[in-house]
Structure 1
Amino acid sequence: MGTEIKLKGDKVIAQIPSIKDKALRINLNENIYGTFAEIGAGQETVRHFFRSGGSSGTIAKAMSAYDKDFSDAVYGTEGDGRYVTENRLKKMLTFEGELIEERLSREKHPNKLFFSYANTVATIDFAKQFKGHGWVGIRYQIEPDEAYNEIILHIRFKETDARLQQETLGILGVNLIYGAFYKYNDPKRLLRYLYDHLDKDQLEIDTINFSGPRFADVDNRLMSLQLVKNGMTDAVMFNPEGKNVLPAAILYKKNLLAFRGSFRPVTNVNVDMYRKSLRMFLEENKVEKENTLVVFEITLSNLRSDGEIDERDFMDRAELLCSLGQTVMISNFQEYYKVVEYFSNYTKARMGLAMGVNNLVDIFDEKYYRHLSGGILEAFGKLFYRDMKVFLYPMLGEDGEIITSENLKVHPRMKELYKFFKFNGKVVDIVDYNPDILNVFSREVLKMISNGTPGWEPMLPSGVAEIIKEHHLFGYHPQKTLEQN
């Protein structure tokens, strides 16, 4: 009696705890104790803890300082006058965390694990023009005398109703708190569990950062990669220091020049294309150097090896690009027009794409646009948005001829369309290229490095070979080189 029946052919179904069960488990732990500070979307997270029962053992304080003057009096003023920022969230987490330490004696509560949860959010506006976004985070302990850990993330709402957005935020908050305490040993799983009882079309997470003793070995760039890989966002970015950055913050109102490639590794061709196209871009009307950002983009498909993403290989490329002082974007965009469309969400300034001839020829291949109702014309309407230009780097043909925008071959049906963009100055040649390096290809260099074949160093920019050797990137092993010699 009471034995669970299992039938032949049954599949194992993962049991996801309900939001109530998650909140209740935390409430019933007599040691977990902390504060909730929620601004901009009600007190939706703490509501779940109140309703699940036993909340007095978990909630020291719950507050929402909606009035800006009240908020400033509690957390201090912001230099830019904005309230939905990472800096504001960090102030909230730190202030509330220090307050609980100050007011509750460790002698009286030797086993308490203190935490502060906070969010600062702007939900959809009345005109339904801006869907809203926010910063959400938790600062917490796993051991009473241990330093604090932090998980901070940025979200974008996709729903078009403020009430639904509030409910979504509440569920996310419970998932974050539960994951922080019970899944901290596996950050990748913790990340996936943030979407328990949520759907990707409700919420986008486009930035996340882990810090503290429990996450000492976590590389936040790898966590960013997981966001794209899991379909939680379309693109993530990190700066030359290797830190995750909010795309909206660094793309906003910037002139943008983007390079797409495998960068496996970065070669002299990549650097020559970068330098020459940047110089041409800066000569464009309305393009000021101080308001221009160069973005090196690697697509998810470029990271896949045999169908799987090689994380070590990803980190090798990231290290190399960051060491060259570049801003890196990892995206899920197969087609170029989607990159431009993405950038257009954040800036109306000038945009440029630097690419080789073979990439441009691919753009004029209709097969990539069959899923669009407007076909290739719809895609090109988005690609050549406003003042967008393609800066074209030449290619060495099989017969030794240098191929440029003047003599490249596209499908006969696309010839007139190509001429239209060429005639209107949307495709311009990089003319002062270095002809001596046109025979350098990343895939050949990579093969030489991994096989230990000598002679690859001169094909790379100054200092790159040394970095590859020092850190043993891209399968480099000095023993292989010795054997080859």
Structure 2
Amino acid sequence: MAISLKGDKKISSVPATKTKALRINLNTDIYGTFAEIGAGQETVRNFFRAGGASGTIAKAMSAYDKDFSDAIYGVEADKRYVTEPRLQRMLRHEVDLIEDRLSRSKHPDKLFFSYANTVATIDFSKKFKGHGWVGIRFQLDPLEDFNEIVLHLRFRETDARLQQETLGILGVNLIYGAFYLNDNPKELLKSFYDNLDKDQLEIDMINFSGPRFMYVDNRLMSLQLVKNEMTNAVMFGPDGNNLLPAQVLYKKNILALRGSFRPVTKVNMDMFQKSKDLFFAENKVDPDNSQVIFEITLSNLRAEGEINERDFLDRAELLCSLGQNVMITNFQEYFKLVEYFSEFTKARMGLAMGVYNLIQIFDEKYYRHLSGGILEAFGKLFYRDLKVYMYPYKDAETQEYITSDNLKVHPRMKELYKFFKNNGKLNDIKDFNPEILHIFSREVLRMISEGEDGWQDMLPEGISETIVQNRLFGFSRRRVRR
């Protein structure tokens, strides 16, 4: 349930920015500070304009000068200012000041908060649109520890003044949502775009923490960002916490493996290991500056209709247990995925895929929406420094291994395929394990759901135990047939 805050006066339910700010201001318990760096004091300005701000705003500040900022919050190890660690320092520093300067005995019912942002708006040349970190650290009970919501945004507008206004509205939405929508994180997430449009900003990372969000799985919140079209790609690490793609992929060699991973099988891991070996052996690849990603598309998650969140978390749980970074994207076509990676790196990239995925790349129906058709897609795909690593398939009838040498594509695509292959863009994974080519995720999933035995041997070490222990993919001991 959402908290019922003492002193809250009844206000119009219309979620206008001024209405939200006024509702916060008229609540006698909510009290905190605003620290905004890089785009003006746009959030707190909305609270001043709404009226009644004296009971809400303990302090509003903006340490624009770097020396002053360092004197207040300390110096970051990387000397940067628009970063998550900087935002965390700001949030904690300001909360500590409130608790140090205000007596709890004098204000027993106050719910303290600190709101902060550190932002870089568009530059003069308009080549860099700008981005920033925004967060709130807040209480929902005076006797409870603080909760936190931290997010990263990328501006889409091309005017600094408009970006500042957008940031101010987002800040109000965040503060309002923290206090009044905290019982429903999914709706809280959607509310960030109240009075805003998707073409104004992109939210590509968010993390919830604290006692009121102990039940929140941040991976699921990442999925909501893509599902709600707030961003096209999100990423989370083995620990389940969300990662900022731009930060993880910056100037890296990237190898991506796309699949359903429902569940992850020995074939998936053999493809991963063998493609990684080939990729790391490339002269233009630095293994110490590389990032391997297991990617799942939104369309794959929707393959059976609506997205099943439990099914998504089951896949994520297994990949995380294998120590992998996982990316969820809205890029059905491979060239869009490569274009996305190219925003962060110019270094060599790699795609590992099976035969069926490669055949799809040469299917014209996927490019009918492009004015240049498949040629435009291939231009975007292979203009970059890209290698494709193909894992073979064993034909059940002929017992023949399908590789790049005997792969059949549509007659119209033959010359394009030859060009693609002869220019060294395509590499066969040759040292594969022929004993596991009969394994398919869909067959493993069927065996699990129908209670058949034998699927355990088709999965990497430790994965079957995780499925059994956590009852993943509908596993039930009572259905197992021997």
Q: Deviations over 1:340-365 (max 9, x none)?
A: 01100111111000001111011101
Residue 143 of structure 2 aligns with an amino acid whose one-letter code is D
User: Could you tell me the TM-score, scaled by structure 1's length?
Assistant: 0.96
Match of 2:433 in 1: 434
Residue 249 of structure 1, CA deviation: 1.0
Q: Deviations over 1:211-249 (max 9, x none)?
A: 111111111111011001000010110112221111111
Match of 2:82 in 1: 84
Higher mean displacement: 16-25 or 298-307: 298-307
Q: Deviations over 1:18-37 (max 9, x none)?
A: 10010001101111111000
> Percent identity at matched positions?
73
Residue 321 of structure 1 aligns with an amino acid whose one-letter code is L
In 2: Cα distance, 1:348 partner to 1:60 partner: 46
Residue 107 of structure 1, CA deviation: 1.6
In 1: Cα distance, 2:175 partner to 2:383 partner: 42
Q: Deviations over 1:111-159 (max 9, x none)?
A: 1111100000000001000100000000111111211110000000000
Residue 436 of structure 2 aligns with an amino acid whose one-letter code is I
Match of 1:262 in 2: 260
Runs of 4+ that moved beyond 3 A: none
1:340–1:385: 8 Å Cα contact kept in structure 2?
no
Residue 195 of structure 1 aligns with an amino acid whose one-letter code is Y
- Number of aligned residue pairs: 470
1:117–1:137: 8 Å Cα contact kept in structure 2?
yes
In 2: Cα distance, 1:17 partner to 1:192 partner: 12
In 2: Cα distance, 1:15 partner to 1:355 partner: 51
In 2: Cα distance, 1:268 partner to 1:385 partner: 33
Among 130, 133, 138, the alignment partner of 1:132 is 130
Match of 1:455 in 2: 454
User: Could you tell me the TM-score, scaled by structure 2's length?
Assistant: 0.96
Residue 167 of structure 1 aligns with an amino acid whose one-letter code is E
Q: Helix, strand or coil: the match of 1:270?
A: helix
Q: Deviations over 1:54-100 (max 9, x none)?
A: 01111110000000000001101111010000000010000111101
Q: Trace 1:313-392 onto structure 2 (pairs within 5 A).
A: 313-392=311-390
Q: Helix, strand or coil: the match of 1:367?
A: helix
Q: Helix, strand or coil: the match of 2:452?
A: coil
Match of 1:3 in 2: none
In 2: Cα distance, 1:55 partner to 1:108 partner: 20
In 1: Cα distance, 2:119 partner to 2:208 partner: 20
In 2: Cα distance, 1:270 partner to 1:401 partner: 20
In 1: Cα distance, 2:167 partner to 2:454 partner: 55
1:16–1:196: 8 Å Cα contact kept in structure 2?
no
Q: Trace 1:101-112 onto structure 2 (pairs within 5 A).
A: 101-112=99-110
Match of 2:3 in 1: none
Match of 1:120 in 2: 118
Residue 472 of structure 2 aligns with an amino acid whose one-letter code is L
Match of 1:289 in 2: 287
Residue 280 of structure 2 aligns with an amino acid whose one-letter code is L
Match of 1:200 in 2: 198
1:257–1:278: 8 Å Cα contact kept in structure 2?
yes
Q: Deviations over 1:382-432 (max 9, x none)?
A: 112332011001111242221110111111111100000100010111111
In 2: Cα distance, 1:372 partner to 1:426 partner: 23
Residue 233 of structure 2 aligns with an amino acid whose one-letter code is A
Among 236, 251, 254, the alignment partner of 1:253 is 251
Higher mean displacement: 379-388 or 288-297: 379-388
Residue 16 of structure 1, CA deviation: 3.9
Residue 31 of structure 2 aligns with an amino acid whose one-letter code is Y
Q: Helix, strand or coil: the match of 1:354?
A: strand
Residue 474 of structure 1, CA deviation: 1.0
Residue 146 of structure 1 aligns with an amino acid whose one-letter code is E
Structure 2, unmatched stretches of 5+, are 1-11
Structure 1, unmatched stretches of 5+, are 1-13
Among 162, 171, 174, the alignment partner of 1:173 is 171
1:133–1:154: 8 Å Cα contact kept in structure 2?
yes
Q: Deviations over 1:238-269 (max 9, x none)?
A: 11222111111110111111000000111111
In 2: Cα distance, 1:36 partner to 1:56 partner: 13
Q: Helix, strand or coil: the match of 1:146?
A: coil
1:36–1:46: 8 Å Cα contact kept in structure 2?
yes
Q: Helix, strand or coil: the match of 2:448?
A: helix
Q: Helix, strand or coil: the match of 2:166?
A: helix
1:121–1:135: 8 Å Cα contact kept in structure 2?
yes
Match of 1:300 in 2: 298
Aligned CA RMSD, in angstroms, stands at 1.1
